[in-house]
Amino acid sequence: MLKQVFQTRYDAFLITGSRSAGMEAAIAGTVEAGDKVVGDGYFSDLVKLHDGEYFSVPMPRGEAVNPTDIRKKIKDVGDVKAIAVVHNSTGTGVTIH
């Protein structure tokens, strides 16, 4: 029923594991060698592990990444395949709005 819940026609998968298991699955299923990814820092090592290029948007610890900064980084980098940000960090208590 996940397709119905998320209102998608694509397959949806429930991952039972740690946060990093979900992050790894997202990157492994998306990033190929040479792909450019912009993000908030959490995904840096995973993107590099899959031979992607990671372009981090600076973000002070305990604060959410600014969407305007993400847009600027995408424009500066060009040809970006993916944006990788953590919506809610339980470690810092930060949620992106």
CA 64 to chain centre: 13
Q: In CATH, what number does 2-95 get?
A: 3.40.640.10
Helix-strand-coil split of the chain, %, nearest 5: 35, 15, 50
CA dist 41 to 8, 13, 14, 80, 84, Å?
28, 24, 24, 16, 8
Give, for all 97 residues of the chain, the pLDDT tens digit: 888 888 999 888 888 888 889 899 999 999 999 999 999 888 999 999 999 999 999 887 777 788 899 999 999 999 999 999 887 666 666 666 5
User: What is the pLDDT, as a whole number, of residue 87?
Assistant: 73
Domain ranges of the chain: 2-95
Structure tokens belonging to residue 60:
């002070």
- Amino acid identity for residue 25 in this structure: A
Q: How far apart are CA 13 and CA 54, in angstroms?
A: 25
